[in-house]
Amino acid sequence: METILFMIIIGVISTIFGKAKRSQGQSPKKPFSTSGMEEIRTLFKELTNDEPKKTRPIKTELKPELPQNSSKNLEKEYQQVRLESESSRMGMAASRLQSEKLKEQTIQTRQNESDPIISTDPDPKTLINGIIWSEILGEPRSKKPYIAKRG
């Protein structure tokens, strides 16, 4: 309760002082008077009349010089990264070749087998799995709306 009363008193006091400032000739649309501008102009003139500050010359060199030691280290790191990437690339190529050979072997064994892939007498579990997969991979439900046509 005391804080609310305190805030109301502060608001009333600030309103009174705000009205007093506006009545002295300063309109609320002008944030500062012309005398303030004159002060800024005189300060600016004083600052520009002083001697210009000394500036450092601009370096035109674009790339920094590296000591010979660090350039050799960079070359060694580059060679190491290059060797690592080549070895990983070779490993990936070898694994790809192995997977292709495995696929070829499975295809050949399937062709050599006398049992067909499609069974003419499936067991009940296989039929249930087939129905489930047909629902999963079949036409989406949005293509088969529930709305019955009224004729």
In this prediction, residue 60 carries a pLDDT of: 60
Please report which confidence band the pLDDT of residue 132 belongs to, taking 50, 70 and 90 as the band edges: very high
For residue 150 the two structure tokens come to 């009224």
Each residue's pLDDT tens digit, 12-28: 888 887 776 666 655 55
Each residue's pLDDT tens digit, 22-64: 666 555 555 555 666 777 777 777 777 655 555 566 666 556 5
In this prediction, residue 128 carries a pLDDT of: 93
Q: With 70 as the cut, is the pLDDT of residue 82 above it?
A: yes
Which residues fall within 8 angstroms of residue 122, CB to CB, at 6 or more apart?
Answer: 130
In this prediction, residue 74 carries a pLDDT of: 87
Q: Give the distance, in angstroms, between the CA of residue 53 and the centroid of all CA atoms in the same chain.
A: 44
Residues 83-87 have a mean pLDDT of 89
DSSP 55-77: -PPPP---SPPPPHHHHHHHHHH
